[in-house]
Amino acid sequence: MIHVAARVVLGPLLYVQAGRLRRTAPELPEAAGARTGAAGTGAVRLRLLIAGDSAAAGVGAATQGEALSGHLVRELARRTGAAVRWQLVARTGARSEDVLQMLMDGNLRRADIGVVLAGVNDITKQVPLRLALRKRDEIATQMRQRAGVKHVVFSALPEMEKFPALPQPLAWYAGRHARHYNEAQARWFAGREAVSHAAMEGVMDPSLMAGDGFHPGPRLYAKVAQRLADHIIEEVLPGLRKAEGSE
Residue 229 counted as domain residue: yes
Residue 114's CATH number:
3.40.50.1110
Residue 179 counted as domain residue: yes
Q: For 177-186, write each residue's pLDDT tens digit.
A: 899 999 999 9
Residue 2 clears pLDDT 70, i.e. is over it: no
Residue 3 clears pLDDT 70, i.e. is over it: no
Among 54-68, 104-118, 179-193, the minimum mean pLDDT is found in 179-193
What φ, ψ does residue 168 adopt, rounded to 5°?
A: -85, 145
Residue 186 counted as domain residue: yes
Number of domains in the chain: 1
Percentage of the chain surpassing pLDDT 90? Answer: 73
Residue 5 counted as domain residue: no
Distance between CA atoms of 219 and 241, rounded to whole angstroms? 31
Structural domain containing residue 167? 31-246
What φ, ψ does residue 154 adopt, rounded to 5°?
A: -105, 115
Radius of gyration of the chain (CA): 18
Among residues 101, 115, 92, 98, the alpha carbon closest in space to that of 228 is found at: 115
Residue 8 counted as domain residue: no
The pLDDT value given to residue 8 = 45
Query: What's the whole-number average pLDDT of the chain?
Result: 90
Pair 122, 84: CB distance under 8 Å = no
pLDDT tier at 167 (50, 70, 90 boundaries)?
A: confident
Residue 12 counted as domain residue: no
